[in-house]
Structure 1
Amino acid sequence: MTTPVEPPVPPADTAPPRPGRKLGPIADGVGSVHRAWLEPLRHTYLTSGLTLSDLSIRVPLAKSKISELLRGCGLYPRWEIMHSLSIQLQLPSWPLHRLWRQAAFEAQKSSEWVERSGDKAAVTTSLVPPLDHRAFRETVESDYSLYAQVFLDDDQRDTAVSNAFDILWLRWNEALASPDIRRFAWEALRATVMARTPHIDGRPEFGAAAFDTVALQHLTTETERMDQMAESLHLFKAMSWLPDRQLDVMVMRRLYGTSPEAVSDLLGLSLATVRSDERHANHFLQSVICPTPETEGKTA
């Protein structure tokens, strides 16, 4: 892959004017997996040219209930309703169903309710993503897993990465129309990972990664390993203060030794941006870990 150039972001497409009340924002308290399928569903609706009245004619649900569904309000929707919406909005049902099912359990729905709510709407499990989506996944999936495992345990890591590719499948046309598909996909991954990562004072907690770093692999004595873990824990605490993009660059550069060129390809950033982010991040980390009289007061 060639090093991307960051083009200017084009103005967002304006949705065609609709009669009636404007669709409100997503409600507070919507769970992370619920939001993962709700956002692409809303985006597809808002760019479809359809109105709530149009959908209420085609889907067995009142207009007010469809509005609630698109805001994440009210009762969690049954799959048969979601399936009908996916057909009208031309969304692939299989990744939508996987995310819907996860979010149902997140909403404390029972297995019996989940199974019963889909009795009248079969899901085509043989449906496969577009060829270019599959090719993209094969290229980046292993690196996505490396990033996710810094913050999550094995089960959570696998779920987050799988969800990221399901979201990308649902938003594939949007991704293709974006300035850089790699950046679009990375943001989807980051959102799924951070939604599951414990945070302290708004900062991601990833101290567990201190026990599985490249630095430990070359140490033989227990004393060396303990010293290295203590150093890593101190480093990771400082890294958690970095801005999002700098943190991502440093995870791949510092923890895995990924080359700047490979990080550029993976994150969809220009090589100059990666090097600049790394330089600024290193300066900050140095000021925190080994403060000088000039920097000590600034980082307190």
Structure 2
Amino acid sequence: MSTPFEPEYSASGPVPGGRPGRKLGPIATGVSSTHRAWLEPTRDRYLASGLTLAEMSGRVPLAKSKLSELMRGVGLYPRWELLEGIAGVLQMPVWPLQRLWRQAALDAQKSREWIERSAGSPPVTTSAVVPPLEHGAFRETVEDAYRRYCRVFLFDDPCEAAVADTFDLLWLSWNGALASPDMRHYAWKILRATVMAKTPHVDGRPDLGHAAFDTVALRTMTDVAAGMAQMAESLELFKAISRLPEVPLDVVVLRSLCGFTPEETSGLLGLSKPTVQSSERYAERFLDNIFDPPDTEGPTE
């Protein structure tokens, strides 16, 4: 999964680019989206810390080579006590990190017994369990809208997981969110990346077949033949919508499929209202050219 985290550099701390020793390699190919969900913000926090792998290794019970493997998603899936030690050094909130770790462990085919034995009791300190007050207030404001957007792409259970992951990831990178030009846009990028990571793709584009089958027209159709025709038309339309660039696609989903106003859409995306309106016009022209292409043959006699 690709997420929009920015390293949170300290004005008084060392710059990561200047740290001695071998640089941390990239995340290995084949690492699952759920594994990336906790690995990417952990790497970002490490890169922002200015610490070297040797210094990190001196603070957690893990050899430098094994720490490098953990930070790249290489080798065996890590036990929680190792990640918890890293989180303590990097001052990361433990509760959302452990929830994401548990989910990825299940995807890695780890048994529930192994997970519980590794994780032990859930963290119980107030600082670990309770997110910042501003985070809770923001979540209360946008959670329902995030869920409505998500359900265009995913069924109920994956949708709920995607929304929960989004707010966990936002919690893990809360300082970066507050420091960003627009926290709403920062949060939306996390939501979108999380949803897209869980959404099936066809030819590199999100599969909107789920949304096509859930249109009001299909749900209320009583004539079988008309219903089949409407289904085919809807599938073609949603296939075309999936080809839109990122922002016009999100605007179409929020405006046409979720029913949000331009003002509400602007607030959710963290983009100006003129940007939303221009994106909607772009989408309309794009779809018109597909379903009603202009006549380029000129007048006929």
TM-score computed with the length of structure 1 as normaliser: 0.88
Give CA-to-partner distance per residue, 1:207-232, whole Å, 9 cap, x none.
12123335567x57446655544432
Structure 1 equivalent of residue 71 of structure 2: 70
Aligned counterpart for 1:142 among listed residues 137, 141, 144: 144
Partner of 1:294: 296
Offset at residue 112 of structure 1 (A): 1.7
1:119-138 to 2 correspondences below 5 Å: 119=120, 122-124=122-124, 127-138=129-140
Deviations 1:229-249 (A, max 9, x none): 443222101101111111111
Q: Distance in 2 between matches of 1:94 and 1:285?
A: 44
Counterpart for residue 114 of structure 1 = 115
Deviation at 1:165, TM superposition (A): 0.6
1:160-204 Cα offsets, whole Å, 9 max, x none, are 110011000001111111111111111111111111111111111
> CA 1:12 to 1:79, structure 2 compared with 1: closer, same or farther past 3 Å?
closer
Which amino acid in the other structure matches residue 25 of structure 1? P
* Amino acid of the structure 2 residue aligned with 1:198: P
User: How far apart, in 2, do the equivalents of 1:291 and 1:253 lie?
Assistant: 24
Q: Could you tell me how far apart the structure 2 residues matched to 1:294 and 1:94 are?
A: 60
- The number of residues matched between the two structures is 284
Are the structure 2 counterparts of residues 237 and 75 from structure 1 closer, same or farther at C-alpha, using a change threshold of 3 Å?
A: same
Q: Is 1:279 aligned to residue 285 of structure 2?
A: no
- Using the alignment, how far apart are the partners of 2:51 and 2:291 within structure 1? 55
The whole-number CA distance in structure 1 between the counterparts of 2:154 and 2:93 is 28
Distance 2:213 2:20 in 1: 57
1:183 paired with 2:185, answer yes
C-alpha distance in 2 between matches for 1:241 and 1:155: 26
Question: Following superposition, which runs of at least 4 residues in structure 1 exceed 6 angstroms of deviation?
Answer: none
Do residues 43 (structure 1) and 44 (structure 2) align? Answer: yes
Structure 1, unaligned runs of 5 or more: 1-9, 296-300
Structure 1: distance between partners of 2:277 and 2:177: 25
Cα offset for 1:268?
0.7
Q: Distance in 2 between matches of 1:11 and 1:159?
A: 25
Q: Partner letter of residue 248 of structure 1? A: D
Query: Residue 266 of structure 1 corresponds to which residue in structure 2?
Result: 268
Q: Distance in 2 between matches of 1:222 and 1:136?
A: 44
The Cα shift of 1:124 comes to 2.4
In the alignment, is the contact (CA less than 8 A) between 1:26 and 1:71 conserved in 2?
yes
Deviation at 1:253, TM superposition (A): 1.0
Instruction: Check conservation: 1:145, 1:161, Cα contact below 8 A.
Output: yes
Q: Name the structure, 1 or 2, with higher relative contact order (CA <8 Å, separation 6+).
A: 1
Percent identity (aligned): 61
Could you tell me whether the CA contact under 8 Å between 1:214 and 1:255 is conserved in 2? no
Counterpart residue type for residue 241 of structure 2:
M
Distance 2:291 2:30 in 1: 37
Q: 1:243 aligns with which of 231, 245, 251?
A: 245
Aligned to 1:23: 24
Moved more, 220-229 or 175-184: 220-229
| Contact 1:94-1:125 at 8 Å conserved across structures | no
1:5 aligned partner: none
- 1:254 maps to which residue? 256
Q: Sort the Cα spacing of 1:12 and 1:66 in 2 relative to 1 into closer, same or farther, 3 A.
A: closer
Residue 79 (structure 1) aligns with = 80
Deviation at 1:278, TM superposition (A): 0.6
Using the alignment, how far apart are the partners of 2:177 and 2:79 within structure 1? 28
- What's 2:3 paired with? none
Cα distance in 2, alignment partners of residues 162 and 177 from structure 1: 22
* SS of corresponding position for 2:49: coil
The verdict on how the C-alpha distance between 1:139 and 1:226 changes in structure 2, with shifts beyond 3 A counting, is: farther
Aligned to 1:91: 92
CA distance in 1, matches of 2:147, 2:232: 25
Cα pair 2:8 2:45 within 8 Å, conserved: no
Could you tell me how far apart the structure 2 residues matched to 1:294 and 1:147 are?
A: 37
1:15–1:49 CA contact under 8 A, matched in 2: yes
- Could you tell me how far apart the structure 1 residues matched to 2:18 and 2:143 are? 39
Change (3 A) 1:69 1:220: closer
Question: Which residue number corresponds to residue 6 of structure 1?
Answer: none
Partner of 1:200: 202
CA contact (8 A) 2:8 2:176 kept: no
Classify 1:11/1:73 alpha carbon distance in 2 versus 1 (closer, same or farther; 3 Å). Answer: closer
Distance 2:256 2:214 in 1: 13
CA contact (8 A) 2:8 2:48 kept: no
Q: Which amino acid aligns with 1:123?
A: P
In structure 2, the CA distance between the partners of 1:216 and 1:252, relative to structure 1 (3 Å rule), is: farther
